Amino acid sequence: MSKERIKELLTQLREELRSTDIDEELEQLLAGLDDDIESAIDDNAGVNAVVDIEDVVDRAKELEASFATDHPTAARVVREAIDLLVRMGI
């Protein structure tokens, strides 16, 4: 259930940001984070897809802080994803 919710949140985040202007650096950070989260929750990921979840959570918190002022909905979505990742203990 939590993995599906994280996937829903990532989709929601992409849709939220599609209609807004974010700088290229933030966009790259989001894309990398998205890939890492997908790898972390993918049951079929191979050994090479091992992701340091603490690093992913730290980068997600950085992204959340960047969104807090200009993109509060995106910040909330990132916060919920962080909470789920931590609770799942991936």
pLDDT of residue 47: 46
Higher pLDDT, 23 or 81: 81
Would the CA dihedral through 20, 35, 79, 59 be positive or negative?
A: negative
Q: Is the pLDDT of residue 86 over 70?
A: yes
The per-residue pLDDT for range 18-75, each reduced to its tens digit, is 877 777 888 888 888 888 888 877 765 544 445 677 888 888 898 899 888 888 888 8
Assigned token pair, 57: 């959570």
42 by DSSP, 3-state: which?
A: coil
Residue 41's contacts (CB-CB under 8 Å, 6 or more residues apart) are 3, 6, 7, 88, 90
pLDDT of residue 9: 87
44 by DSSP, 3-state: which?
A: coil
pLDDT of residue 44: 55
Total-model pTM = 0.75
